[in-house]
Amino acid sequence: MSAALDLEDVRKVYRAGEGEVVALSHATLQVGEDEIVALLGPSGSGKTTLLSIAGGLLAATAGRVLVGGRDISGATPGELTRFRREQVGFVFQAVNLVPFLTARENLLVVDEIGGRRKGPESRARADRLLEELGLAHRAGNLPGQLSGGERQRVAIGRALMNEPRLVLVDEPTSALDTRTGTQVMELIRTEVKGRGTAAVIVTHDTRMTRWADRTLHIDDGVLSAVPAAGPEGGDAEA
Ligand SMILES: Nc1ncnc2c1ncn2[C@@H]1O[C@H](COP(=O)(O)OP(=O)(O)OP(=O)(O)O)[C@@H](O)[C@H]1O
Ligand SMILES: [Mg+2]
């Protein structure tokens, strides 16, 4: 069985003006088929860079990237577009819903762009997701007519529309209060686990890592394991 995501010694160097920024250095990471990994680290540590490389949005400078056992490191732009459409669900740091489409239409657009199922099957799927996410009563609202937490939930629904193998979530709770953030994290876990999908969830809030199976720390582009918390997620210190 192949891992949902396999990063092998991935390095990413950005060139900016005269200098360079090493955003990822020797990143090695395996995420199991139905595993949720939290990626915790300060601003500028390389979290979004790692997600972007894992999802085929950005090419690594060196190293190998395998998703579901398939090496995407040398893929053409066309292959990457298809790969993202079929295998990956993204929830970005800034929720980027289409402002002139309703919540429901923001989900349906995934199937339309993908040229996938259309019509009743698509609509039933969108409606089921909206229901699960507690948004059935907001299905006809535009993003501007939704709260921050509701918008984030629409973005989660949209990321699940293509039945992805790998869900990549960037700071899902940064703009939300603790209570709403907690609800959003619970929902992500329920939805991802219910589908047997893998997920990498980026955060810089340690409280949000308890919904993950495993937490990794990233600092200055270097990944390291975080020791497992004690029983019931209590602090293991002392
Ligand atoms: N396109 C780019 N060109 C040059 N440098 C970049 C580029 N994108 C990111 N960087 C730099 O790479 C490093 C990692 O950036 P990244 O966006 O991955 O951080 P992050 O951990 O997601 O931060 P945040 O928590 O603020 O979102 C930072 O030092 C950033 O300034
Ligand atoms: Mg980021």
Residue 201 maps to which CATH number? 3.40.50.300
How many domains does the structure of the chain reveal? Answer: 1
Q: State how far the alpha carbon of 122 is from the alpha carbons of 117, 139, 153, 182, 187, in Å.
A: 6, 14, 18, 29, 21
Write the CB contacts of 233 (distance below 8 Å, at least 6 apart in sequence).
210
Locus of tokens 């690594």? 60
What spacing in Å lies between the alpha carbon of 230 and ligand 1's midpoint? Answer: 32
Residue 13 lies in a domain: no
How are strands ordered across the β-sheet holding 19-31?
19-31, 5-16, 62-67, 70-71
Instruction: Let me know if residue 23 belongs to a domain.
Output: no
Mean pLDDT over 193-217 rounds to 93
* pLDDT tens digit sequence for 52-74: 999 999 999 999 999 999 999 98
- Per-residue confidence (pLDDT) for residue 214, from 0 to 100: 95
CB 31 within 8 A of CB 38: no
Query: Does the C-beta of 209 come closer than 6 Å to ligand 1?
Result: no
The answer to whether residue 4 sits within a structural domain is no
Distinct helix (H) and strand (E) counts, the chain: 6, 10
Is residue 234, in this structure, part of any structural domain at all? no
pLDDT tier, 234 (very low <50, low <70, confident <90, very high otherwise): very low
Confidence of residue 227 (pLDDT cuts 50, 70, 90): low
Ligand 1 pocket residue status of 94, Cβ below 6 Å: no
Least confident of 113-122, 210-219, 220-229: 113-122
Residue 112 has pLDDT above 50, yes or no: yes
For residue 229, what pLDDT band results from cuts at 50, 70 and 90?
A: low
User: Strand 166-170 relative to strand 88-91: parallel, antiparallel, unpaired?
Assistant: parallel
> Which residue range forms the structural domain that includes residue 161?
33-60+74-229
Residue 146 inside a domain? The answer is yes
* pLDDT at residue 168, as a whole number: 96
* pTM, to two decimals: 0.90
- Which ligand has its closest atom nearest to the C-alpha of 41? 1
In a domain, 21, yes or no: no
Q: Which stretch of DSSP H or E encloses residue 83?
A: helix 77-87
Contact assessment for residue 70 and residue 64, using Cβ atoms and an 8 Å cutoff:
no
User: Exposed/middle/buried for 186, CB within 10 Å: 0-12, 13-18, 19+?
Assistant: exposed
Considering the domain boundaries, does residue 131 fall inside one? yes
Asked whether residue 125 is domain-assigned, the answer is yes
